[in-house]
Amino acid sequence: MQADYVIIGAGSAGCAMAYRLTEAGHSVIVIEHGGTDIGPFIQMPAALSYPMNMSRYDWGYMTEPEPGLGGRRLVAPRGKVIGGSSSINGMVYVRGHARDFDHWAETGARGWGFADVLPYYKRMENWHEGGHGGDPAWRGHDGPLHITRGPRRNPLYHAFVEAGREAGYQLTEDYNGEKQEGFGPFEQTVWKGRRWSAANAYLKPALKTGLCTVMRGLASRIVFEDRRATGVEIARRGGTEIIEARAEVIVAASAFNSPKLLMLSGIGPAAHLAEHGITALADRPGVGQNLQDHLEVYFQIAASQPITLYKHWNIFSKALIGAQWLFTKTGLGATNNFESCAFIRSAAGVEYPDIQYHFLPFAVRYDGRAASEGHGFQAHTGPMRSPSRGQITLRSSDPAEAPRIFFNYMSTDADWRDFRRCIRLTREIFQQPAFAPYRRHEIQPGEAVESDDEIDAFIREHAESAYHPCGTCKMGAVDDPTAVVDPECRVIGVDGLRVADSSIFPRITNGNLNGPSIMVGEKAADHILGRGPLPAANDRPWIHPDWKTAQR
C-alpha cells in the first residue's frame, strides 16, 4: 500500500489536507483507527452529548490527577471516528481573535499572523448569514465548510444578549468578522440540519475523486530511512503493515496522539524516550510539552418560567424531536442549541477578549445529566488564556497504551485571579433586568459563594475541560529548542515529515478550536504542495478604543 502522501488521522486538519492534496491531483492514504461516522448520534446536532461519551467514537482518555482541581481526574475526549473530534464536538465555530495569530507570528511562527490566516478562513468557509446580520465582506462564501446560525427562537437567547448590553458591554453582529468583542449570535458547523463535520465537508468529496483511500488501523510508528520519513507502520487485523509514502508523511492525530506518535518514532526528549527503550532519532525536548486547554464552569440559574429545554427532557419528547429530525432534518434536533454567546475582556488593560460565554437555555452537563432543579439555563464560561502549561508523555513504548495526559490546570496565581474575576462578572450579567422575568435563583455556584476562598473551592470542585487541547508539537523558529515544527509544519531535525493539527498551535486561540484546526489543515496543504501562501489580507480587526483604561 502506497500513496504520494500518507496522513495519520481523519480529523479536522487531516480531512482538509486530504481534500486539498487530492484536488491538486495527488494520491492520499488517510489512516484512521476509528470507524464510520454514519448514524443519528453523530449526524444529529442536538445529540452531541452522546458520541462524546461512547467508547465506539471516543479514545476514552483520562487526565492524570490534577493537583489544582483537588486531585480530580478529568475526561479528555478525542474523536476516534471518521471526522475525528469534528464528529463528536459541540459544532461551535470560532475563528479565534486576530491578535491570537499575530502572537503566533511574533513568537516564531512567521507567516501565521492574522493577515496570513484570514485568507485561509475565507477559502474554507461557506457562510450562511440567514437573515441574522453579520459581516459578509469578512467571510468566505464558497468553501467546503458550511457555517450557519441557530434560529434563536427561545427568548432566553435574546435575554442573554440584552443583559450584556444592560451591563455596559459591546454587542457584535459577527464575532467571526471584524469585531469579536461583545454579545451576539453564535455560529455552528451545521448544514441542512446535519452536523457539518470535516468528514462531510472535506473527506467525502476527496474519497469521490478516487485518489483518496481511508485505511483503518492504529498507527504505531513512523518508518524512517536514514532521517527521512518513508511510511507508517500500522496495526490491523492482528498484524502489522507498512503504508509507504512516496512524498511525505503527515501527522494529524490530535494534541494527544501526535506527540505520542512522534515519541514512539524516536522524535522527542531523548532522556524520556530512553526511559522507554526508544532510541532518539531527533532530540526535540518540546515534543509533548506546552499542553494547553480551556477550563470552564457551568454557571447555572433556576428558571421561573417553564420555557427552557428541560420540557423536552423526557423519553416522549426526545422521540418526537428525533423523529422530526430523522424525516425532515428540522426542529430542535437540527441545532446544537448554543445560539447566543459573548466574548469579553476581564479587566482594563487586557487588549482583547479573554473570557468566552456559551449560553444554553437549559441547565445540563456535557455528559447529559440535567440539573436537579428542573427548568434552568446556563453559561459555560472561563478564562481563555491560562498561563498554565501541561505535558503529554509516554506511559510505555506500547502504541496501544494511552499517553499520560497532565494539563497542570490552575497552577499559577494568575489562573485563580482570572477565574474569580470571570465568575463575578458572570454573576453580574445574570443579575441584569433582562433576566428578571426568567430568573429564580442561582443553582451554581449559588448566591452564598462569594468570598475568594468560596469561589476557589467551587472552581476546584466543578471546573471542567472545554475539550480544547493543543500546543504539544509547537510551531516556531528552527533555532527555537522548544519548537517541534517550523512555520511550514515540517518536523525539525528530520525530512519528509510534517505535523498539522491543533498540536502545532504555539498558544491556544480564543474560543473553540475546530475552526483553527481546519484552517491549519488548509494552510499546511499549500506548504505541502510547495505553493506560495494566499495573498495576505489587510483587514483591520476592531479593538476596543479604551481597552487600556476600561473593562467594557
Give the span between the Cα atoms of 84 and 82, in whole angstroms: 6
Question: Which CA distances in Å does 57 have to 1, 41, 87, 227?
Answer: 26, 10, 9, 35
What does the block give as the cell for 312? 423536552
Tell me if 190 is assigned to a ligand binding site.
Answer: no
The pair phi, psi for residue 519, each rounded to 5°, is -60, -40
Residue showing cell 459555560: 380
Tell me if 81 is assigned to a ligand binding site.
Answer: yes
Contacts of 456 (CB under 8 A, 6+ apart): 416, 420
Q: What is the CA radius of gyration of the chain?
A: 22
Of 44, 37, 30, residue with least CA distance to 58:
37
Residue showing cell 489544582: 68
Give the span between the Cα atoms of 270 and 285, in whole angstroms: 7
Tell me if 90 is assigned to a ligand binding site.
Answer: yes
What does the block give as the cell for 5? 502522501
Which residue out of 26, 97, 103, 468 is catalytically annotated?
A: 468
The pair phi, psi for residue 402, each rounded to 5°, is -65, 150
Residue showing cell 492520499: 28
Of 504, 507, 508, residue with least CA distance to 489:
504
Beta pairing, strands 218-225 & 239-251: unpaired
Of 239, 231, 296, residue with least CA distance to 265:
231
What does the block give as the cell for 492? 525539525
CB 282 within 8 A of CB 266: yes
Identify the bridge partners of residue 233 per DSSP, sorted by sequence position: 221, 242
Catalytic site includes residue 141: no
Q: Coil, strand, or helix at residue 330? A: coil
Strands of the sheet containing 187-188, edge to edge, are: 125-127, 145-149, 187-188
Of 377, 381, 378, 309, residue with least CA distance to 342:
381
CB 252 within 8 A of CB 17: yes
Give the span between the Cα atoms of 456 and 417, in whole angstroms: 9
Tell me if 297 is assigned to a ligand binding site.
Answer: no
What does the block give as the cell for 340? 447566543
Of 229, 105, 272, 107, residue with least CA distance to 491:
229
Binding-site residue positions = 81, 89-92
Binding site feature residues for FAD? 81, 89-92
Q: Which residues are catalytic?
A: 468
